[in-house]
């Protein structure tokens, strides 16, 4: 059983819908991440939260809106998505020594498979 | 800028064969970390190993071994006596500074 839980595992939505992805980590880590994994592309870092503060937004379109209410929970709010946003969205957590990530391994959830029609 | 290259997109072997997955990285930093992750069909990335740039000792863990060579900027991963359960996508990653960069992954298929 993974220490990082993502729900839902599968999501199908229309371009006008609003939905959210949820991530919860049970590892006591202080940093959480959203990655996007599209077919035939490398993993793309989307957002980083250290100590509940967003420290990185990797030029992600505003139709993706992250929320980190505490160090154990991370959300990705989705609205007016495009078909090209269909992908596997992976959440990860790690223990960092400070505000920047310094080499700790990331622990990943099983991902949320998103299909935008 | 940092970059990770996994030149092998797909590898197919027969069970019990040994297989090596290549990883070449680029960074200007002198302190960095290298990782390997496994992604089985279920989706999650499973952490396999982390090495820091000052430790070039090769490591063996059961059927897995890693060969880190700074002179060639490579961090290769070998599975000995492969098994069907080893079938997955394997990612090499580099942490340099505050950024973690993944390679494009190698799809390994082990056939019975």
Q: Which of A35, A42, A51, A89 to mutate to test the interface with B (most CBs of B within 10 A)?
A: A42
B100 reaches A (C-beta below 8 A): yes
Partner-chain residue, chosen from B97, B100, B105, that has the shortest CB–CB distance to A106:
B100
Q: How far is CA B78 from CA A26, B67, B97, in A?
A: 32, 8, 27
Question: Which band of pLDDT confidence, cut at 50, 70 and 90, is reported for residue A97?
Answer: low
**Residues A29-81: tens digit of each pLDDT:** 989 999 999 987 889 999 989 888 888 788 899 999 999 999 999 999 999 99
Bridge partners for A73 per DSSP: A24, A70
Q: What are phi and psi of B86, to 5 degrees?
A: -80, -10
Angle at the Cα of B85 from the Cα atoms of B83 and B87, rounded to 5 degrees = 90
Note whether A103 contacts B97, CB cutoff 8 Å: no
Note whether B37 contacts A108, CB cutoff 8 Å: yes
Q: Return d(Cα B36, Cα B91) in angstroms, integer.
A: 6
B97 reaches A (C-beta below 8 A): yes
**Residues B47-100: tens digit of each pLDDT:** 999 998 998 888 889 999 999 999 999 999 999 999 999 999 999 999 886 678
Distance between alpha carbon A108 and the CA centroid of its chain, in Å?
Answer: 10
């Amino acid at each position: 059983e993974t220490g990082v839980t993502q729900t839902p595992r599968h999501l199908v939505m229309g371009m006008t819908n609003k939905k959210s992805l949820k991530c919860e980590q049970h590892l006591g880590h202080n940093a959480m991440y959203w990655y996007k994994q599209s077919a035939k592309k490398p993993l793309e870092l989307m957002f980083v939260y250290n100590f509940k503060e967003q420290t990185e937004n990797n030029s992600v379109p505003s139709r993706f809106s992250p929320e980190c209410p505490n160090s154990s929970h991370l959300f990705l709010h989705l609205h007016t998505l495009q078909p090209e946003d269909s992908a596997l969205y992976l959440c990860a957590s790690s223990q960092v020594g400070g505000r920047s990530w310094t080499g700790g391994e990331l622990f990943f959830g099983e991902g949320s498979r998103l299909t935008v029609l | 800028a940092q970059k990770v290259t996994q030149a092998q997109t797909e590898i197919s072997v027969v069970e019990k064969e040994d297989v090596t997955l290549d990883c070449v990285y680029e960074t200007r930093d002198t302190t960095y970390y290298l990782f390997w992750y496994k992604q089985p069909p279920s989706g999650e990335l499973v952490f396999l190993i982390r090495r820091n740039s000052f430790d070039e000792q090769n490591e063996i863990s059961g059927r897995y071994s890693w060969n880190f060579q700074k002179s060639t900027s490579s961090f290769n991963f070998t599975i000995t006596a492969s098994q069907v359960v080893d079938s997955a996508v394997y990612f090499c990653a580099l942490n340099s500074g505050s950024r973690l960069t993944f390679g494009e992954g190698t799809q390994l298929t082990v056939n019975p």
